[in-house]
Structure 1
Amino acid sequence: MERQVIHLVATILLVEDDDDLAELVQMHLKFQGHEVYRVNRVSDAKVQYSQQHFDLLILDRGLPDGDGLDICHELRRRQDWIPVLVLTARDGELDKVDGLEAGVDDYITKPFSVLEFQARVRNVLRRVSQTLDVKHDVSPVHDSMNFGVLTIIPALHQVSINDKDVSLTATEFSLLQFLATRPGRVYSKDELLDHVWDTSHSGYHHTVCSTINRLRSKLSLSDSEHHFIQTVWGVGYKFQPQH
């Protein structure tokens, strides 16, 4: 079956100090129909972000006045879950893990394929499309997925445990929702990459592992050893409600 391509027009803040690369990225983003604002310093990005709403941030790490990842750290500390895509030359495994642990939604290393970059932007925006759509949803009733103390409301991009909200990034939410649609069903890393990240490249297995770990930590119950997201060693992961 041919995969449906969802096109979402977004307002994007690009933080990149390489002028040639920034112009190339900006051109291709505009070709997709996006509105792009561009700065080349961490401080300028913080000013822009404080003055205007953005649907996506694209950050370089090695900027003249600091690490672009600091922007993501600050946003996540403020419980701001705007999608963040890192575009950087730092391609070490620990660098990627640092980015994912900081709560970024995707991590792309330079040099990169323009077509892959465009696809990754589409995928990040697709994963937050439900959140964007809810701005126009005036219905007071929303279908929910209930698993004992855990409640998932897809239309509101909302998760709660014991009636307390759990803040998830767009990717974390998409992963949880996908696993929870078939409790007990085990998915391999490749299957999760295909269904949640929309990629078949096995080189992104670390992305799955890091996102699973963050999600499991956020869903952990202080009074129980139960984990909603469980590892099936040598196979993959599954969603397991409490008994």
Structure 2
Amino acid sequence: MTALEFAVQDVAGALGARRVGADRVELCAGLGSTGGLTPSIGTVEAVVGTGIPVHVLIRCRAGGFVYADAAELAVMNADARAAVSAGAAGLVLGALTPDHRVDAEGLRRILDGLDVDDIELTFHRGIDQIRDREAALDTLIAGGLTRVLTSGGAATCAEGLDELAAMVEHAAGRIQIMAGGGIALGDLAALQRAGVDAIHLSARRVVADDGGPGGGGESGHEQLDEDLAAAVATRLFAADRPPFPGRRAP
């Protein structure tokens, strides 16, 4: 059975994801402009309060995933601790060495002091910058991670389909493979046939909202497009789940 995760940035998105029957949400901030950063602790607490399992992105800045600065790792450790204390069911994180391998020591420092047996851990799309993803999977399995989020190293999951299938085969149930990156409705069946454990997408739309002069930022904000999310859920779950009471028809 393929799980469904939406990347959301607010309470409204979490409630929409819950209504369409998603299994969990990845909570982040600045998704469209940065690819996602750690949300505020107030947002974490409010989204946890919606009742859907919340996995919080731990990423202190935009850009790459090589964290040579000890202060950056310390910030992410503090954010990880705060998110778990606020009720997060999981954390989404990643760190790479300068030669683009899994930075196991960096991950250890981000998770220092946390009881990771009580939460799920997802290694994010930093894995798509790693050339030897099979070796990376072995490292993450040894480190006790729950899953990886990946497009198979390609710009979109459709382009990375063969690599995703190869990762599923190599994982052999030891770690979950969650497909994410440029997924369209028409991609879902092929991804399920490839054997991925979960589907991840943002399904977002931009709501026009003029910030005005003086640093208001972009002229709008992003929200989950619940109609699109419902269409994804309906198609994904058609074969392997009973109807969800809150799910709307696409």
Give the alignment's TM-score, normalised by structure 2: 0.34
Higher-RCO chain (CA-CA 8 Å, sequence separation at least 6): 2
